[in-house]
């Protein structure tokens, strides 16, 4: 393995590896319609993602009227059932993702996914994209007692991938991801093109990339900096 790269690279899924906004938007608007609510524009939905399905429905309800726990729970099965049936209708990997993943695997890095998606849906999406076998671990919010931003979710993912925290780096797109990495003491690279509700420079990541072409050199630079500290 190239010693300048981390032994384990953990990725968030939605907004980091894959632009899932089209299918998440369609699923949320389906759930809202079932509750008698109007649709939310796709551009607004992109910034509601990152905290799991319940939070997404809660934010959709807030954007279209009142919110109650009962409405969130009523909308959840509509969202999940529709999304499972349409999980990769419009979702696509971000530009350069597959080339970067191939290069990391060829260099000997373990790859893993740490997502606040239900684990069943995370595995379904990975399979639908033809990515089965790429990742040593894929843990959703329901794989652990407490999901991101709890650092235990990230630690559990690293452990499941056969890695150790001291030689791992996390790649994400939101404040949830950077808060998780900070709590775990693990460096975070933020992508600037994801679903964050604020500019990437304000997420508190160790480094920011604007394209996956920059991932490997940024990982190498961050690994070198970490080793020198």
- Which tens digit of pLDDT belongs to each residue from 148-200? 999 999 999 999 999 999 999 999 999 999 999 999 999 999 999 998 889 99
- Cβ neighbors of 165 (< 8 A, separation 6 or more) are 155, 158, 184, 185, 186
Parse the chain into domains and list their residue ranges: 8-19+91-228, 21-85
Q: What 3-state class would DSSP assign to 208?
A: strand
Domains 8-19+91-228 and 21-85 share a fold: no
Cα Rg of the chain, angstroms: 17
Cα angle 34-35-37, degrees, rounded to a multiple of 5: 100
Q: Which of these CATH numbers, 1.20.120.1780, 3.30.429.10, 1.10.260.40, 1.10.150.240, describes 21-85? A: 1.10.150.240
Please tell me the CATH superfamily of domain 8-19+91-228, with its number.
Answer: HAD superfamily/HAD-like (3.40.50.1000)
DSSP-derived letter for residue 41 is P
pLDDT at 1: 46
What whole-number distance in Å separates Cα of residue 121 and Cα of residue 106? 27
Tokens of 202: 């304000």
Pick the catalytic residue from 12, 14, 177, 206.
12
Q: Is 177 a catalytic residue?
A: no
Omega prior to 125 cis, within 30 of 0: no
- H or E element at residue 139: strand 137-139
- pLDDT of the chain, 229 residues: tens digit per residue: 445 899 999 999 999 999 999 999 999 999 999 999 999 988 888 778 767 788 899 999 999 999 999 999 999 999 999 999 999 999 999 999 999 999 999 999 999 999 999 999 999 999 999 999 999 999 999 999 999 999 999 999 999 999 999 999 999 999 999 999 999 999 999 999 998 889 999 999 999 999 999 999 999 999 988 877 7
Q: How crowded is residue 68: how many other Cβ atoms within 10 Å of its Cβ?
A: 10
Name the pTM for this structure: 0.93
């Amino acid at each position: 393995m190239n010693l300048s790269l981390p032994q384990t690279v953990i990725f968030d899924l939605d907004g980091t590896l894959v632009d899932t906004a089209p299918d998440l938007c369609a699923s949320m608007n389906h759930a809202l319609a079932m509750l008698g609510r109007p649709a939310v524009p796709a551009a607004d939905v992109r910034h509601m993602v990152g905290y799991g399905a319940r939070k997404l429905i809660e934010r959709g309800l807030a954007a279209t009227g009142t919110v109650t726990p009962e409405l969130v729970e009523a909308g959840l099965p509509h969202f999940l059932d529709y999304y499972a049936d349409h999980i990769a209708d419009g979702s696509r990997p971000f530009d350069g993702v597959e080339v970067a993943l191939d290069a990391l695997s060829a260099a000997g890095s373990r790859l893993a996914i740490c997502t606040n998606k239900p684990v069943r849906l995370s595995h379904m999406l990975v399979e639908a994209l033809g990515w089965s076998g790429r990742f040593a671990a894929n843990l959703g919010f329901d794989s652990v007692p407490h999901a991101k931003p709890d650092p235990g979710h990230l630690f559990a993912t690293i452990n499941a991938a056969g890695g150790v925290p001291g030689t791992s780096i996390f790649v994400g797109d939101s404040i949830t991801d950077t808060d998780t990495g900070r709590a775990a003491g693990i460096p975070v690279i933020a992508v600037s093109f994801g679903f964050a509700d604020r500019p990437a420079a304000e997420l508190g990541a160790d480094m920011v990339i604007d394209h996956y072409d920059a991932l490997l050199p940024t990982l190498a630079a961050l690994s070198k900096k970490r080793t020198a500290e």
